[in-house]
Structure 1
Amino acid sequence: MKRLYLLRHAKSSWKDFTLSDFDRPLNKRGKRDAPLMAQKLKEMGIRPDIIISSPAKRARKTAKIFAKTLHAALETEEKLYEAHTSDIKEVIQTAFEKYDAVMIVGHNPGLTMFNDEISDIPIFNIPTTGVVGIGFQNDDTSLDKGSQLFFEYPRKYAPHAG
């Protein structure tokens, strides 16, 4: 079975309005939630073969935290910044040619829209540092329809968060 993990970057800072959207860093909550969620996935036995991240600063930082915790290789992909669902699908299909378990770190609305297109359970909004696991039977790389394996997010573990 091919496994896909969609991870929305951790909460970013809007403190410095001179920064471009691309260069926004994680805020305090993001720096707290990313290690929490990475650890939760580790406890669940999640082990992506590769993590592919948007090159935006907040996504890269989130991806680095997950890669370190989950002992996964990390790459960046330009197509994942401001990605449409077709861009996300293309990146995943290419990765599935080489890997069985792929994590994508990106942004909304693209990630949520992509989940709702391919998963058997729509979510309508993946919150920051939210992760959706999707399984595909028979190593299906067409990404037509997968089965949601889990949907994890920080408020599930720290209701006061965010």
Structure 2
Amino acid sequence: MKTLLLIRHAKSGKDDPTLADRDRPLNDRGLRDASRMGERLARRGVHPDLILTSPALRALSTAQLIADALGHPRTSIVADERLYESTPPALLAIVRDTEDRHRTLMLVGHNPEISALAHRLAPDITEMPTCAVLECGFDAASWADVGDRHPVRVNLDSPKGLPGQ
């Protein structure tokens, strides 16, 4: 079984026009939401073997806050340039290239790419709100099979909750 967690970075500030896009920090709501989503994941017993994040400050901060709540050391988070200004096929290639010794992979990235990949893997998912977490479980021995198989388990959660929650 392989478990993929796709996370859209938390809400970021856009108040400072002098900042480059990759240097935009999380705003107060984003800071709260990332910690909150990490706590929810911790309550569910989620333990990623590998956390890959875009190096953009808002994505990296989201990954760090979630990792903190999971008891995952920040020093083991991998900032991967391929996750910044990516494409859904490139994101899927990153997933497929993951070493099979990792059972649970967490990717923290940006929209619209994260939503598009989520939709490809789970067609009922059309949009990932900020700091949303899509958890997909695949009955697969290899990450190379992800994308060719439908997930056997899908769970979407977001800070504001979803209809029916």
Calculate the TM-score normalised by the size of structure 1. Answer: 0.90
Is 1:11 matched up with 2:11? Answer: yes
Corresponding residue of 1:134 = 136
Identity between Structure 1 and Structure 2 (%)? 36
Show the counterpart of 1:109.
Answer: 112
Residue in 2 aligned with 1:36?
Answer: 36
Cα displacement (A) at 1:148: 4.0
3-state SS in 1 of match to 2:82: helix
1:83-110 superposed Cα distances (whole Å, 9 cap, x missing partner) = 1012111211222433110000000110
Partner of 2:60: 60
Q: What SS does structure 1 have at the residue aligned with 2:77?
A: strand
Partner SS state of residue 160, structure 2? helix
- Amino acid aligned to 1:19: L
- Count matched residues: 156
**Counterpart in the other structure of 1:160:** none
Give deviations 1:111-132, integer Å, cap 9, x for gaps. 111011122x421110111000
From 148, 157, 161, give the equivalent of 1:156: 161
TM-score, normalization by structure 2? 0.89
Q: Runs (4+) of structure 1 moved beyond 4 Å? A: none
Contact 1:9 1:107 in 2 (8 A): yes
SS of residue paired to 1:128: coil
Cα RMSD for the two superposed structures: 1.5
- Structure 2 gap segments, 5+ residues each: none
Q: State the alpha-carbon separation in 2 of the partners of residues 59 and 76 from structure 1.
A: 9
Which of 77, 85, 91 lines up with 1:82 in the alignment?
85
The CA distance in 1 between the partners of 2:49 and 2:62, in whole Å, is: 17
User: What does the per-residue CA deviation read over 1:57-91, in whole Å, with 9 as the maximum and x for residues that have no partner?
Assistant: 00000101111221333111101001101211121
User: Aligned with 2:66: secondary structure?
Assistant: helix
The answer on whether the counterparts of 2:7 and 2:108 sit within 8 Å (CA) in structure 1 is yes
